[in-house]
Amino acid sequence: MNEPTNKTGRVASLDALRGFDMLWIMGGNTIIIGLATLTGWPFLEAAARQMEHVSWHGFAFYDMIFPLFLFIAGVSLPFSMAKRKERGDTGLQIWKHMVTRLILLIFLGMIYNGLLRLNFGHIRVASVLGRIGIGWFFAAIIVLYANRTWRWIWFVVILLGYWAIMTLIPAPGFRAGDLSWEGNLVGYIDRLLLPGWLYEQNYFDPEGILSAIPAVGTALLGALTGDFLRDEKRLPKPVQKGIAILVAGIVALLIGRLWHNVFPVNKKLWTSSFVVYAGGWSLILLGIFYLIIDAWGKKKWAFFFQVIGMNSIVSYLMQPMLCLWCVRNFFFEGLINHLPEAWRTLADGLTYTLVCWLVLYFFYKRKIFVKI
């Protein structure tokens, strides 16, 4: 059994879990859909239905990819903050890093959205990377200045405050508490304040302004989990920590499901119930990975995921920037076209995942790890 993770040491399971998360947007979803198409097995068909976002209220596995990544970024926060303080970084240096990271993620998100096409009238300012940057930044401020008790208070205030805003404040022309696609307050504020093109038919943006508030809660939940992992006094044994995280995840799922009855789970609005419900699944997955890798020391199986997770920003950006679909097509399109039709979706997913992973393995072998 491994020794408990030290207060500033790297938690090996986080890289593996981050890689597991990123796998689903670099071909993993297509593999599941392809297996379901090929076999027709009911459980695979059910899994395939989980490989796309829910249209509005509700939750599917694919809705968890984004909040899980932000949650993991939050888990790393207490470790990175402690490391910076131990090496003697001043408050100004820490702030410089935080602001630089925020600006860079927003900028990279805009590049991902097509900034370099220079079609400024149609550029989408909001982005996945921008939301990660904003959520992480404000959670980092709380971690930097608030003790653990106040971090919990901030987490509760953020979620209850967003619930109150979304259900008590009317948008002009709409009634208070309107959570419909057409009438929600998130969309009204995006149309009023957010420049450029909005993702949802130019009507509102799922990574927009108001819904960034509860996204801070997602990152902060991760930070609270990181606090727990760093604490060597309470439940010092890794197995105890892993089990406690699993139990916390189950409790969060129950709370999120109950809250859904009055404030529906909705990824596009990033509702408070969505934060708790997705956080529950994030805790459960972290608990499983932590138990297997950090507590029981079973690491070899996770190498495939760690190669992805140790270069997560690269794995996200390289797909459009390096046109990895083009690379895949160059090498494999002819072969795929000669396969029986029932096999093609699976072959699409497998070959694209292979190409992405080999590029990341090239980075890994040369010890090139891009961190922001």
User: What end-to-end distance do the CA atoms of the chain give, in Å?
Assistant: 32
Contact 137, 207 (CB under 8 A): no
SS (H, E, C) 174-198: CCCCCCCCCCCHHHHHHHHHCCECC
- Predicted local distance difference test score (pLDDT) of residue 177: 86
Question: Helix, strand or coil for residue 56?
Answer: coil
260-300, pLDDT tens digit by residue?
999 999 999 999 999 999 999 999 999 999 999 999 999 99
**Residue 3 within any structural domain of the chain:** no
**Residue 1 within any structural domain of the chain:** no
- Specify the higher pLDDT residue, 165 or 171: 165
Question: pTM, whole model, 2 decimals?
Answer: 0.93
Q: Average pLDDT of 16-39?
A: 95
- Long-range CB pairs of 229-232 (<8 Å, 24+ gap) are 229/5, 229/11, 229/75, 229/78, 229/79, 229/290, 230/5, 230/7, 230/78, 230/79, 230/82, 232/4, 232/7
Instruction: Using pLDDT thresholds of 50, 70 and 90, give the confidence band for residue 37.
Output: very high
Percentage with pLDDT > 90 across the chain = 77
How many beta carbons lie within 10 A of that of residue 140, not counting itself?
26
Instruction: Using pLDDT thresholds of 50, 70 and 90, give the confidence band for residue 226.
Output: very high
325-360, pLDDT tens digit by residue?
899 999 999 999 999 999 999 999 999 999 999 999
- Predicted local distance difference test score (pLDDT) of residue 3: 40
Phi/psi of residue 246, nearest 5 degrees = -60, -45
Contact 372, 105 (CB under 8 A): yes
Q: Average pLDDT of 58-87?
A: 95
Helix 148-168 × helix 128-145 angle, to 10°: 130
Choice among 196-205, 220-229, 346-355 with the minimum mean pLDDT: 196-205
Answer yes or no: is pLDDT of 210 > 50: yes
**Residue 278 within any structural domain of the chain:** yes
- Predicted local distance difference test score (pLDDT) of residue 6: 44
Instruction: Using pLDDT thresholds of 50, 70 and 90, give the confidence band for residue 10.
Output: low
Answer yes or no: is pLDDT of 148 > 70: yes
Q: Which domain holds residue 322?
A: 12-365
- Predicted local distance difference test score (pLDDT) of residue 163: 96
Residues 6+ apart with CB under 8 A from 126: 109, 190, 194, 198, 199, 205, 207, 208, 209
- Predicted local distance difference test score (pLDDT) of residue 133: 96
Helix 324-337 × helix 312-321 angle, to 10°: 70
How many beta carbons lie within 10 A of that of residue 331, not counting itself?
11
Whole-angstrom distance, CA of residue 30 vs CA of residue 28: 5
How many distinct structural domains can be found in the chain? Answer: 1
Q: What average pLDDT does the chain have?
A: 92
Contact 305, 364 (CB under 8 A): no
80-125, pLDDT tens digit by residue?
999 999 999 898 999 999 999 999 999 999 999 888 888 877 888 9
How many beta carbons lie within 10 A of that of residue 371, not counting itself?
9
**Residue 4 within any structural domain of the chain:** no
**Residue 286 within any structural domain of the chain:** yes
**Residue 6 within any structural domain of the chain:** no
Whole-angstrom distance, CA of residue 208 vs CA of residue 127: 8
**Residue 146 within any structural domain of the chain:** yes
How many beta carbons lie within 10 A of that of residue 337, not counting itself?
10
- Predicted local distance difference test score (pLDDT) of residue 9: 54
**Residue 5 within any structural domain of the chain:** no
**Closest to 203 measured CA to CA, from 227, 218, 220, 185:** 185
